[in-house]
Chain A
Amino acid sequence: MGRAMAKSDTRPKSFQEIILRLQNYWATQGCAMLQPYDMEVGAGTFHPATTLRSLGPQPWAAAYVQPSRRPTDGRYGENPNRLQHYYQYQVLIKPSPPDLQDLYLGSLQAIGIDMDLHDIRFVEDDWESPTLGAWGLGWEVWCDGMEVSQFTYFQQVGGHDCHPVSGELTYGIERLAMYILGVDHVMDMPFNDPGAPIPLSYGDVFKQTEEEYARWNFDVANTDVLLKQFEEAEAECKAILDQAPVDPKTGKRIVMAHPAYDQCIKASHLFNLLDARGVISVTERQAYIGRVRALAKLCADAFVQTRAGGWTDGNAA
């Protein structure tokens, strides 16, 4: 992968321009530009393009925006920095290239951070996802004292050692954009070009939904229904993976790792909703996390039995 440290003379004008520049930058670096996963997730890591694709021997390079939901962080759109729905920009490259730090710094430059004026630091921050049974070592990246990204070398996912190792970059786009655009409250941030015929702020797009979801997440969501859905997703995930590898209809070997993983994602999000509703006690919390982790592990076990996960005929990975 080439080194692209080209200076962009113009500063971005809007939230979306920062996203577009990231897309453009990582496309230039050769990543496949994927689209957001079409399910509710808590972070970009949950996208199967990261979780599952970080497993097995096949090389991989992908980048995408992932809308993410964290019900407990809802503040009715009033807190300048906290949202229950926000965007992450996610890059995953396997094996991690030797110049990944430089590539990352190039991306900061691409979105308008002048490397000559700012203080960029890599500060120890080891990443662990108890729900995914995953961990890695890396840093949080600071720009002038503000955390702008997570930088992680995946070591284990779903209980499997990662080999080769993937390098993962996660940008919290709202926070990064607010810093670059000099905005103090997220809702005041220009979403599109302020000079556009119809200029829209982040608040124009999301203030109302933040209110609606905060009310629903905290006070209205039917916990009996959520609990039931959690159980169903858990059961369905296991049922899918209990199927024989060979499809009796087509006679083909089809291990359904992805459909099962969808159920795992669902269970994880349902747990987050239940957590926001305050119906999960401290001790139960661990038990729920353990249940989601068990699903993630089953899905990882299944994925390495698929072609994308390194399975070849007569030779399980």
Chain B
Amino acid sequence: MPDLLIELFSEEIPARMQKRAADDLKKLVTDGLVEAGLTYAGAHALSTPRRLTLAIEGLLDKSPDTREERKGPKVGAPDKAIEGFLRGAGLTRDQLEERETPKGPVYFALIEKKGRPAAEIVAEVLEATIRNFPWPKSMRWGAGSLRWVRPLHSILCLLSDEAGASIVPVDIDGIKAGDTTEGHRFMAPGRFAVTGFADYEAKLKAAKVILSPEERADHIWAEAQNAAFAQGLEIVEDKGLLAEVAGLVEWPVVLIGDIDDEFIPLPPEVLQSSMREHQKFFSVKNPKSDLIEKFVTVANRETADHGATILAGNQKVLSARLADAKFFWENDLRIAETGGQAWLGSLSNVTFHNKLGTQGERIERIAQLARAIAPLVDADTDLTEQAARWAKADLSSEMVYEFPELQGLMGKYYATSAGYSAQVADAALDHYSPLGPTDDVPSAPVSVAVALADKLDILTGFWAIDEKPTGSKDPFALRRAALGVIRLILNNDLRLSLVKLFDAQVLRHEIALNENGSVRQALLRDLDNEIAKHGVFGAAIRTVLDHFDGTLSKHLEKVKDILPDIAHDLLDFFHDRLKVHLRDKGVRHDVIDACLAMPGNDDLTLLVKRAEALGAFLATDDGENLLLGVKRAANILAQAEQKDGVEYSYGADVKFADAAEEKALFAALDVAEAAIKPAIEAEDFAAAMAALAALRAPIDAFFEAVQINTDNQIVRRNRLNLLARIRVISAGVADLSRIEG
């Protein structure tokens, strides 16, 4: 059985696209071959900056013959029907066979397809693959119309077996498949012919091309480690960079170079960013001092001077870049040492969002909210405000302008120079966290307060201007911000009412959106005082509105009406994110729904505590059976209530009970009620569930022994009212009607 070798040779393919492209090539070609009946034993795809390669072993040399029998119309059916059948089968009438069936004579067609040679199928599949290749971005070149990631220069397509190799005839827009390829652009120019994969791989290596990206990456990593180790240093691991660099070279040569002494005192993150982003250098660390002292660059060739010229050039470029970084660092430090006020001032001129105002205004709002949050998270209020005001200062620094990925980190460094405490410095870095679902969550109180305020401000802001995420569109990463808030609250076991915070911040936004400057400042100040005094938002806004009677716009008066809707909608959004978060942790969505229906559902810690207790309870036998009992009670009640047109909710009296099981249920409900209420108040949901579980036996026994519907209407009503007590008591724990099954 033959082997197939395909190489698509082009100008340099972007490093980030190579792996995916190799995988796509393999999938598209093998799927196409199998579809056409050509099975194979194995396939693997490889890539270098200039080529995608696919090697398939043990391919069938032709597709199998197929034979298909098709039943057609009756003999004597209208010509139209018979012609249609012939068209579909690709036969003529004399090729049909007449057969007797219980329903009379019927035409049968026997469609035989001869297998086709592999070369023919490969040619078709390869052409379709090239023409429909799913590049993330593709282009045309010259005067042609073919699209590829960069100009495609040659196609190698070879079927080989013991007897030899033959070129598969493919011609795509003038590019004819052949049996030749090229080696390294500079070290081994010129084309050569190959006879099969092993020959191809070996000749490429001789022509200074390592075909396998993994082999190149392993080689780079091993050589880099050796080079560092020989000098008593170590490479800072960076898998993403390694994969990228392996996609930039065909013949990796590792060179280790010096960083000028004057740059070593720069923050290590600055050195790393500068080297990684701009130069694709690995950082080399001194394990004793933890300082970045050298770099590793990966050249694409060997030279007569053993890389001396290349290294000198790279070093020079790095020095120029680091001179810039040092210049920024020193300029920034000068400003930081004077307290950084210049940065804060200039943020007032930077637009954050055309409706939500400047960064300066945003900082002001965050600072106010952070103050309100501080006592809820045991953070010092003044320190928290300080941290909130400093947290975005570095956005004006030259370093962050040049390296945006260093935002927060530079704020932390500069905070120290500006004379701030360690808590304020940490908050500058940590308030952006958590960014992703697995990112660390800050726990230092000041950082937590600022992180919450930052995220809640952006969420309430976009809710206030009604620009919420829709479908896949979430340009301001609001889902991520909400998940961040959820994780901050849950990981730190925080107890706070989100709606209160929403209200206060939405109002700040609404004032900013609708009032002119002088009124706005006075309003905001008053509002904050009132919130501080009343603690309750509704009272605060009423007082503020009274106070400003006559000077307020109509819009702001309406705000107090629309606020609850905005806050409610935002809370729904949080609940959706919470469900996703808890589902990933294995909590059932119906369990969460049962708890969302309970009061206090804007206290996420409480909500989750309840959900966890309920989930655990439902997993027990008692829980499962109790659920059945409660649902049965609810169903009977609902039916009776509909029939009778009344709501049974009050007045079950033990004196109308006759059966022992009925009396026992009265007693059990008394006990459960007495236990559940204080347990819920103490937020001891496990105890509440346990008390509920104790009802299982009496409820089961009651349904077993007692018929609800009797002729005695007093007894019947009493029993229905008894069932209503079950409904009330269980509803105090969770809305069990939401539980499925």
Contact = CB atoms under 8 A, between A and B. Distances in A.
Contacts of A179: 313, 316
A180 to B, nearest CB: 11
Interface in A161-188: 163-165, 167, 179
Nearest to A282: B351
A245 interface: no
B20 interface: no
Contact of B248 (A96, A114, A121, A167): A121
A144 B142 contact: no
A97 B153 CA distance: 12
Which of A81, A139, A146, A179 has the most B CB atoms < 10 Å from its CB? A146
A145 B186 contact: no
A126 B309 CA distance: 28
B140 A123 contact: no
Given A95-B143, A164-B143, A116 B314 contact: no
Contacts of A139: 12
Q: Is the interface of B mostly helix, strand, loop or mixed?
A: loop
Contacts of B320: 80-81
Contacts of B318: 145
A143 interface: yes
B192 to A, nearest CB: 18
A87 interface: no
A145 B313 contact: yes
A155 interface: yes
Interface in B122-172: 137-143, 145, 149-151, 153
A175 B297 CA distance: 21
A119 B254 CA distance: 12
Interface string B574-585: 000000000000
A263 to B, nearest CB: 29
Nearest to B135: A137
Contact of A117 (B297, B300, B304, B354): B304
Interface string A148-159: 000001010000
Contact of B151 (A98, A117, A136): A98
A148 B310 CA distance: 14
A288 to B, nearest CB: 15
A98 B317 contact: no
Interface string B528-565: 00000000000000000000000000000000000000
Given A98-B151, A119-B299, A139-B12, A153 B141 contact: yes
Interface string B283-325: 0000000000000010111011100011011101110100100
Given A81-B320, A126-B137, A165-B139, A117 B309 contact: yes
A167 B151 CA distance: 11
Contact of A137 (B137, B249, B354): B137
Contacts of A200: none
B140 A163 contact: yes
A202 interface: no
A122 interface: yes
Nearest to B313: A144
B348 to A, nearest CB: 12
B139 A144 contact: no
B300 A121 contact: yes
A59 to B, nearest CB: 9
B417 to A, nearest CB: 25
Which of B139, B151, B303 has the most A CB atoms < 10 Å from its CB? B139
A281 B349 CA distance: 8
A145 B303 contact: no
Nearest to B139: A137
Contact of A116 (B14, B138, B304): B304
B12 A119 contact: no
Interface string B33-51: 0000000000000000100
A250 interface: no
B351 A281 contact: yes
A298 to B, nearest CB: 25
A122 B304 CA distance: 22
B350 interface: yes
A136 B323 CA distance: 32
Interface in A66-107: 80-81, 95-98, 101
A118 B137 contact: no
Given A119-B300, A145-B297, A155 B313 contact: no
B11 interface: yes
A124 interface: yes
B628 interface: no
A116 B305 CA distance: 9
A98 B141 CA distance: 9
Which are the 4 A-B pairs with shortest beta-carbon distances? A144-B313, A124-B14, A122-B12, A145-B314
Interface of A: 80-81, 95-98, 101, 114-124, 126, 136-139, 143-146, 153, 155, 163-165, 167, 179, 281-283
Interface of B: 11-12, 14-16, 49, 137-143, 145, 149-151, 153, 186, 248-249, 279, 297, 299-301, 303-305, 309-310, 312-314, 316-318, 320, 323, 350-351, 354
17 contacts: A95-B142, A98-B153, A116-B303, A116-B304, A117-B309, A118-B303, A118-B309, A119-B310, A122-B11, A122-B12, A124-B14, A139-B12, A146-B316, A153-B150, A155-B139, A164-B143, A179-B313
